Amino acid sequence: LKILTVIGARPQFIKAATISRKVALTRNISEHIIHTGQHYDENMSGIFFDELDIPTPDVNLNIGSGLHGEQTAKMLIGIEQEIIKQKPSCVLVYGDTNSTLAGTLAATKLNTPVCHVEAGLRSFNRNMPEEMNRILTDHASDTLFAPTKNAVNQLRKEGVLSNNIILSGDVMFDAALYYSSKAEASSTIMESNHLTKNNYILATVHRAENTDNLERLTRIMSELKALAQHIKVVMPIHPRTLKFLSDCNISAQNILLLEPTGYLDMIKLERNSKLIITDSGGVQKEAFFHKKPCITLRTETEWVELVEAGHNVLFPPISDNTGSLTESVQSLTSNSQHSFSNSLYGDGHSAQLILSEINQRYG
Ligand code: UD1
Ligand code: UDP
């Protein structure tokens, strides 16, 4: 069995690390990794390959940033050439980025089966670029690995054949379990930033709807600055967000801004925080994995089970939300009885399940 894996953005490196590690231990399976180059800074890409022991990509297409159509089209050209050369048994894609969509389109045009990890997620907000990437990828995929029961149900509702849907659990849970002890052993991020356990809030913001909208970004930053009057706020900052803050002259005064961190440092920051505020898909789940309450800076989330179970509270950064982030934090942290014991994302062995299923179907 030869798998051709297409990755390109930060969360995909982390997801792919879980399956690549299993491939390396399996005799009859080989993996050819294409990095599209969607993310390229050392701290958005290289660091993850180093610290998570992901094999160096066989090819880096070095596509870089650009308009959605332009970026996706350039990826499509490069991936198509690789599929023609490599003749893989299937193409493996992750999540909902432009790299995911490009891998899917290139493969389906060449009649190569597509396996989609993290299928069936929906925000029902079609203005999000990720929502269109998810819908298009799911409906072109041959095997859809759905992390949750909600995702399975959604795919069925949309008419995807039951035989093509596998409830796999979430590989990000595998990653959180596997790398937590490594993070505890090796990360020095707490000491280097003079942080102590439960004495800070961790925040990340990068979603286009928040960064590219001046009103929303201004609101988010002023809410975070107000919160920082009460408790330290630590914010590893995505390059997209940094660019907009500086272009729009929005200050981050009193907030501890960090460069984007590696995954091990991020786990350490998550595990020691009092609460997490984010608009990231992955970080919402990690808050739950590491038993931290979470506030999501969005109007909706595709990880609905977290909200339903009370682990996550939405704080839409829009003008008709007159509440304050500080009040939301206070109300969420005052509930010390909150239990995180339910299992929502599988048993931590999703990567093995996915690989075995791929082997059975395409090996
Ligand atoms: C992308 C994904 C998003 C995912 C996120 C993970 C799409 C449509 N979006 O968003 O779903 O949540 O990755 O982090 O695929 N930049 C750099 N250096 C880098 C990478 C980006 O400076 O290494 C800057 C550039 O100014 C670039 C901007 O960030 O224009 C946005 O990058 P891009 O990959 O287009 O989208 P993300 O916001 O990272
Ligand atoms: N992450 C990281 N360093 C950071 C911010 C995030 O390692 O500075 C990790 C985070 O722990 C999670 C993943 O990146 O595993 C989430 O990626 P991101 O928020 O960029 O994208 P999303 O999940 O929203 O697509």
214-268 confidence digits (pLDDT tens): 999 999 999 999 999 999 999 999 999 999 999 999 999 999 999 999 999 999 9
What's the rounded mean pLDDT across residues 194-199? 98
- Point out the ligand 1 atom lying closest to the alpha carbon of residue 99: 15
Q: Are 1 and 29 in contact (CB under 8 A)?
A: yes
Q: Which ligand is nearest to the CA of 278?
A: 2
Distance, in Å, from the CA atom of 358 to the CA atom of 97, rounded to the nearest integer, reads 22
Considering only CA atoms, which residue is closest to atom 22 of ligand 1?
A: 239
274-294 confidence digits (pLDDT tens): 999 999 999 999 999 999 999
Q: Which ligand is nearest to the CA of 279?
A: 2
Contacts of 325 (CB under 8 A, 6+ apart): 223, 224, 226, 227, 277, 295, 315
Q: Which residue has the tokens 């994995």?
A: 289
Distance, in Å, from the CA atom of 176 to the CA atom of 268, rounded to the nearest integer, reads 11
Q: What is the CA radius of gyration of the chain?
A: 20
Distance, in Å, from the CA atom of 122 to the CA atom of 144, rounded to the nearest integer, reads 14
pLDDT mean across residues, the chain: 97
What SS3 state is found at 240? helix
Q: Is 129 in the pocket of ligand 1 (CB under 6 A)?
A: yes
Q: Is the whole model's pTM more than 0.80, yes or no? A: yes
Q: Which residue has the tokens 């272009």?
A: 247
Q: How far is CA 223 from the centre of its chain?
A: 24
User: For residue 183, what pLDDT is reported?
Assistant: 98
Q: Are 177 and 343 in contact (CB under 8 A)?
A: no
Q: Is 91 in the pocket of ligand 1 (CB under 6 A)?
A: no
Per-residue pLDDT at 196 exceeds 80 = yes
Question: Dihedrals φ, ψ of 31, to 5°?
Answer: -130, 135
Q: Is the dihedral of CA 331, 334, 337, 339 positive or negative?
A: positive
Per-residue pLDDT at 331 exceeds 80 = yes
User: For residue 32, what pLDDT is reported?
Assistant: 98
Per-residue pLDDT at 338 exceeds 90 = no
What's the rounded mean pLDDT across residues 339-358? 95
User: For residue 339, what pLDDT is reported?
Assistant: 86
| DSSP E strand boundaries for the chain | 2-7, 30-35, 59-60, 90-94, 114-117, 143-146, 165-167, 200-204, 232-236, 256-258, 275-278, 294-296, 312-314
238 is catalytic: no
Contacts of 12 (CB under 8 A, 6+ apart): 94, 95, 97, 99, 100
Per-residue pLDDT at 173 exceeds 90 = yes
Burial of 359 (0-12, 13-18, 19+ CB in 10 A): middle
Q: Are 12 and 95 in contact (CB under 8 A)?
A: yes
Q: SS3 sequence, 74-143?
A: HHHHHHHHHHHHHCCCEEEEECCCHHHHHHHHHHHHCCCCEEEECCCCCCCCCCCHHHHHHHHHHHHCCE
Considering only CA atoms, which residue is closest to atom 12 of ligand 2?
A: 282
Distance from the alpha carbon of residue 7 to the mean position of ligand 2, in angstroms: 14
20-71 confidence digits (pLDDT tens): 999 999 999 999 999 999 999 999 999 999 999 999 999 999 999 999 999 9
- Point out the ligand 2 atom lying closest to the alpha carbon of residue 278: 19
Q: Which ligand is nearest to the CA of 133?
A: 1
List residues near ligand 2 (CB under 6 A): 10-11, 14, 204, 206, 236, 260-263, 266, 280-283, 286
Considering only CA atoms, which residue is closest to atom 10 of ligand 2?
A: 283
What's the rounded mean pLDDT across residues 336-357? 92
Q: Is 246 in the pocket of ligand 1 (CB under 6 A)?
A: no
Q: For residue 335, what pLDDT band results from cuts at 50, 70 and 90?
A: confident
User: For residue 217, what pLDDT is reported?
Assistant: 98
Distance from the alpha carbon of residue 287 to the mean position of ligand 2, in angstroms: 12
User: For residue 342, what pLDDT is reported?
Assistant: 81
For the chain, percent of residues with pLDDT exceeding 90: 97
70-95 confidence digits (pLDDT tens): 999 999 999 999 999 999 999 999 99
Distance, in Å, from the CA atom of 279 to the CA atom of 57, rounded to the nearest integer, reads 29
Q: Catalytic: which of 32, 206, 238, 311?
A: 206
What's the rounded mean pLDDT across residues 163-169? 98
Per-residue pLDDT at 139 exceeds 90 = yes
Residue 148, token pair as written in the block: 């949750």
Distance from the alpha carbon of residue 217 to the mean position of ligand 2, in angstroms: 19
Distance from the alpha carbon of residue 28 to the mean position of ligand 2, in angstroms: 32
